Structures are given as structure tokens and as C-alpha cells.
Chain A
Amino acid sequence: MNELAAAIPWLGKRNPTAARWLILVIALVAPVIAWQFGRSWVRILDFALLYMMLAMGLNLVVGFAGLLDLGYIAFYAVGAYTFAFLASPHFDVHLPFWAILPLGAGFAAMAGIMLGFPVLRLRGDYLAIVTLGFGEIVRIFMLNLNYPVNITNGPQGINMIDPINLFGWDLSRNLQIGENFSINSLFLYYYFFLLAVAGSIVFVHRLQISRVGRAWAAMRDDELAAKAIGINTRNMKLLAFSLGATFGGLSGCLFGAFQGFVSPESFSLMESIAVLTMVVFGGMGNIAGALVGAFVLALLPEILRDVAVPLQQTLFGHVLLDPEVLRMLLLSLAMILMMLLRPAGLIPARARYSHDHHLSNKLKQEAAK
């Protein structure tokens, strides 16, 4: 797991073991520190963890397999809506958390395969646009399937979703220990999500160094050559889509339960783009990159919100750029500047399984001569 250590600059290269311990400590105490600034910050950290899971899932598709997916948030929506259907007063069904989780993941994976099959032959930019269309179609259905039969409750979304309940332990209630000590529900969610992220890291890491991961890397770098050495690119693409979608579905379930409310508004194209920016910003094709990208880009807009608004008020007397605008500005600039200045991302993927751009450019130049 040396790769994870790369998330810590400097120390990660010198002493990976220390860096890994540092990450663990940071992850464990982060909510306690955030609590000092107010409970909303713990909530933001919870969301940051969900974004990390999403980024890791999208990284499987975009970074490992090289398939640009602009409709990724649709899988997230499938997970969230599955949870909302099966654990809310909307249909008056209340299945237990552990029963819905595999269902949500399964539906999302099925959606991934459904999207994957028709687009197998497409590459690069065409694929991107078609997946974008897929995401929009899902959103249009979410918005409009409240008529003539009310399935999704349209733009209003679904309310009062059951919280996560681990074998009778309700995470939405503060945990009372003894007389006068209690742990806030936001902390419980944080540590639960942290466990989920940790599990995903282990899984994705094992996947990356497995036969499948190597096949993806080969396919990403040269599809024709990958085929020639006997890789079944069709199955590998479908696997990438469905595994990526599974991650989306799982985090969607967690999101629905945590937020207690889902509506089509949370699954707009902007969110797909936001997750993509996280992957691109952190560095495509490596776990640490996706994690750091998600963490930074989930937190930065919130910090900006706290800093920029009062700053503008003192400077101009009124708020010139509201936080939403700042977030969009930040994401779009991050995407453009990163591609122009540092296309491999904050933490470039290690050369081991990645395409060697330097070498390929050299070869190209020689071929041109």
C-alpha cells in the first residue's frame, strides 16, 4: 500500500510507513478537530468521505480502464433512489439496511452493464457524450416519473428515508455512554463511512494489482495490442462499468440514508463533472490521487464559503460572488488548469502500469522525422 502514502507530500516518499500512520491518525481525529469549528464541518467531512468513494469508483472506470464516463452520478442516483424506495414511507416499505445495500449495489451494477453493452464499441470522446446522455436520461426520468403513477415523486424527491441501522443500532441517534458523555450521530456516520472507504481502498488496491487491473491498464494504453495478447476487452469494459457503478450505487445508498432525503437536484450533470474533476485533479489512475482530489475539492468550496463571503463583505460591502458561483469557478478552473499545466494530476500515477507519456512522445517525434 505504498501508493496510499503518496497522499502525504514529502514524507510519503521518504518514509512511507510513517506517512501511512499519519494518514490513519488524521483520518481518525479529523472529525474531532472539525467539531471545534462547528458541527456543520463534521457533516462536510461525512460528505467528503462519500465523495471519496465516488471518486474511487469513477477512477476505476476513467483512470484504470480509460473509459471517460460523464454520467457517473446516475449510478449514485440509482443507489440513493433504491434506498429511498425500500426504506421510506413513500411506498411504506422499510427493509433493513443490510438488505438494501446489496440491492442498491446490484441495481447500480445492472445499470452499469445496461449502459456498457451498447457503448462497447465507442471510444474516447463519443463514449463521454453518450454516457452524459445516459446520466441526463436517468435524471429526466427521476424528474418526471411522478405521473401517471407516482414512482419518484418528481422534483420534490423522497423524504423521511430511514437512517442507517446496524443490527438495531441507529446511527442517527447520538450514542450515550454513561451519564454525561455522548457521541454525536455525525461522528458515528463519519466512522462508519470511514470504514466503508477503508474497505474500498483495500478492494480497489487489490483489484489494481490483480489480473483484471493489469488487463485494464493494457486496454487503456492500447486497446488493439490488448486484444492481440488475448485480453477479452468486451468483458473487461463491462466489468469496469459495472464495478464502477457498484461503488456509485453503494455510496448512493449511504447518501440517501445519511441525508434522509433524495431529489433529482442532487444528481445533476454538475455533480458528475465535480466527481470527474476530483479524479482528474488528484491524478487519474491512482487511488491516492482520487482520494486527495475528492478530499480537497469537497472541502475547499466549504472553506471558501466561510472565508470568501465575509472577506467580500468587508472589501466591497456586499457579496459579489456567492459560494455556489465560487464552487463552480473553482471546479472549472481546476479542470482546465490541471489539464494544461499538470495533466497527470496532483499525484501522478506511478509509471509501473501507466502509459509512459515521455516515451510515447519521444517515439512520436521520431516517427514524425
Chain B
Amino acid sequence: MTPRTVVRVMPARLMDPTAAPDWRLVRLGKGIMETLIQQLINGLVIGSVYALIALGYTMVYGILGLINFAHGDVLMVGALVALQTMTFLMGMAPGMSPLVMLSIALLVAIVVCMLLGFTMERLAYRRLRNAPRLAPLITAIGVSFLLQTIAMIIWGRNYHTYPQLISTTPLQPIEGVFITPVQITIIFGSAALMIGLLLLVNRTKIGRAMRATAENHRVASLMGVDTNAVIAFTFVIGAGLAAVAGVMFASNYGIAHYGMGFMPGLKAFTAAVLGGIGNLGGAMLGGIVLGVVESFGAGYIENLTFGFLNSSYQDIFAFLILGLVLIFRPTGLLGERVSDRA
């Protein structure tokens, strides 16, 4: 309302790095087919990051019925903590191999985010488990903005350049189609994490406890499951995945910023809903689909609307998809449960 609002509104491209996919790469491609494949690759890359974030949303929603609004900001914390660690390591041991450096930074970010996830659940959400429906959501919004503010205090308002420890020189697997080693790492890294998570949930004891708790808290606790521990564990795992996603996201665009978590968080939520919230496979599918749709949409919107709209409207697709899915198929692509909680 007053002219000096807090969240500084940047042109869409700066505010949200996703608004500007690698157009330089896209434009280089000449043929229609090359452009198509290029869009598909860009979509896959960003989609797998969305999928990783969406998993955190969907696990928490599956168990608690809570939209953890602050999940996107956990991602931001992960990216910035990793950045801090890398800067520190570069100063301390300039000769260190980039891969080792990246691994250490990732590890630190994951641990910090896991602690953060644990703290959030313990201090804020646990006490609200039996509160009226809106209370946890409002608290989650508060937590989200609190995290952003704290990040703003620690890291300032500036955009930080993200160190590229993996090469960003584009490779050309097909003539006219470009992919960078960072992007390849993102796709394979997130695939590995997703497989790991599926194994964890479906094959291990704690995974079974998680599924039981999601099914029915009370019965699960009667069967000897420590539901409080399981819920805390779910938050911790989700936060760990978000930390990795944050580093990937920031590496992909080369920028990190205190407000960077908001948009991907929202889009990942859309992905979770699209796939069927509470369903792990759905979150993965939803993330990929959303990434691809967004990439194609941004690439072709200018032609489709005869130049009236351009790629700065890219963010609209996620919201449109969210609205359409909720209206026409609230259970999502893979969801079976019709929950009355929604």
C-alpha cells in the first residue's frame, strides 16, 4: 500500500529466475524440431527440480493434511547455505577440487535444512495438529515470511551469483540442441534421489511406518508406531530433498536470492496437486509435466497469441494448471483418494 513495500518487485525475469529459461540456447537452435527438443530438455531439467520439491509437499500433505507453505523457503535456505559454504571453502582451500567442494556444500546445506525442517515441525506445526483447519496454514505462511526475513537479514537483498562448480559449457548431443553438464547432473541427480526415496518409503521399516501414519494416525500409533517421530522424520526428509533442489535450482540459473524459494515452491505445490497430492509417484510425474508444459508454453506463447503475450507470462501457466486441475480433477493425475479435507 505504501510506496515502499518490503518485497521489492523486480521485473519478472529478475524476481524469478525461472521466468527466463536459457533463451540464448533456445534461439541458437534453428530448426523447428531442434527447438522442440530443446524445450523438452529445458522442461525436463526444471521439471525434475520441481519434482524434488513437490515430494516434500506431498509427503507432508499425505501425512498431516497440511500445506507446508514454508517448504519453498527451505529450498532458498539450502541454496544460500550451500553458497555460503562454497564461498568459505574457496577462501580456505582454493585448491580443492570443485566436486569435493560441491559435495561438502551440499552436505552442509542438507544438514542445516533438515534441522530447520525439524525445528519448524516441533515449534510451530506440532502444536497446531488439532487446531481448526485454517490455523496451520496461516502459521505456515507466517513461517515462510519469517524465513525470508531472516535470510534477508543474513544474506542481504542482493542477488548473489552462484558459483558454477560443474561446467556450464553447453554440449551439443544433436546438432542445434544444447545441454550443459549442470543440467545433465540435475536430471540424473534428482532421478537417483527419487528412486532412493521410493525405496525408502516402500521397502524400509520407517517407510512402512510413514505409510501407516498417512493412512491413519491413531491406528498406526496403536500398532506401536511412534507417529510423532514419523512426522518429524517426514519433515526432515522433505527438507533434505528441498536443500538439494535449492542447490540445483540456483546452479541452473546461476543466481540466488532471499526470495528465490517462493515461485518454485508454489509451482512445486502445483506439481504435487497435478500428480495427485499425497501420492509420491504423482508428485514426480506432476513435476516433470509442469516443467515441460511451462517450457513449451513460454516458448510458444508469443506465436500462439500473435505477439500479444510473451515469455514474461510464463508464471501464469502454473497457476492456470493449478486452477484447472483443482476444478476438473481435484484428485490429480494419479490420485485416488478423494479427501474431504481439501
Contact = CB atoms under 8 A, between A and B. Distances in A.
Contact of B12 (A54, A66, A143): A143
B5 A155 contact: no
A143 B11 contact: yes
Interface string A229-265: 0000000000000000000000000010001010011
Interface string B177-190: 00000000000000
B320 to A, nearest CB: 8
Given A143-B312, A268-B7, A340-B139, A328 B148 contact: yes
Interface of chain B: mostly helix, strand, loop or mixed: helix
Given A121-B327, A126-B326, A357-B132, A265 B149 contact: no
Q: Looking at chain B, what size class is its interface with the partner chain?
A: 35 or more
B1 A264 contact: no
B5 A325 contact: no
A324 interface: yes
Given A143-B11, A147-B310, A255-B1, A339 B128 contact: yes
Contacts of A121: 326-327, 330
A328 B143 CA distance: 11
Contact of B307 (A136, A148, A269, A343): A148
A270 B149 CA distance: 12
B206 interface: no
User: Which residue of A62, A76, A133 has the most chain B CB atoms within 10 A of its CB atom?
Assistant: A133
A336 B342 CA distance: 22
B142 interface: yes
A121 to B, nearest CB: 7
Interface in A131-161: 132-134, 136-137, 139-140, 143-144, 147-148, 155
A20 interface: no
Contacts of A276: 138, 141
Nearest to B124: A336
Contacts of B312: 140, 143-144
B145 A331 contact: yes
B203 to A, nearest CB: 31
A130 B144 CA distance: 17
Contacts of A119: 323, 326-327
B1 A266 contact: yes
A274 B310 CA distance: 31
A129 B322 contact: yes
Contacts of B153: 321, 325
Contacts of A70: 141
A134 B319 contact: yes
B209 interface: no
Contacts of A47: 1-2
B342 A329 contact: no
A280 B138 contact: yes
Contact of B137 (A54, A125, A332): A125
Interface of chain A: mostly helix, strand, loop or mixed: helix
Interface string B95-116: 0000000000000000000000
User: Which residue of B66, B319, B322, B341 has the most chain A CB atoms within 10 A of its CB atom?
Assistant: B319
Contacts of A118: 323, 327
A124 interface: yes
Interface string B312-342: 1101101100110011001000000000011
A144 B130 CA distance: 43
Contacts of B138: 68, 276, 280, 335, 339
User: Which residue of A50, A123, A139, A329 has the most chain B CB atoms within 10 A of its CB atom?
Assistant: A329
B137 A124 contact: yes
Contacts of A148: 307-308
A144 B136 CA distance: 34
A128 B342 CA distance: 10
A202 interface: no
Contacts of A95: none
A122 interface: yes
A127 to B, nearest CB: 9
A136 to B, nearest CB: 6
Interface in B230-263: 262
Given A139-B9, A324-B4, A364-B130, 4 more contacts: A76-B1, A259-B3, A332-B146, A355-B132
11 contacts: A68-B137, A119-B326, A125-B67, A125-B134, A129-B269, A130-B322, A133-B319, A133-B323, A276-B141, A335-B145, A343-B132
Interface of B: 1-9, 11-12, 66-67, 124, 127-128, 130-139, 141-146, 148-149, 152-153, 218, 262, 266, 269, 273, 307-310, 312-313, 315-316, 318-319, 322-323, 326-327, 330, 341-342
Interface of A: 47, 50-51, 54, 62, 66, 68, 70, 76, 118-119, 121-126, 128-130, 132-134, 136-137, 139-140, 143-144, 147-148, 155, 255, 259, 261, 264-266, 268-271, 273-274, 276-277, 280, 321, 324-325, 327-329, 331-336, 339-340, 343, 355, 357, 361, 364, 368
A-B CB proximity, top 7 nearest = A335-B142, A133-B319, A336-B142, A332-B145, A332-B146, A270-B7, A328-B149
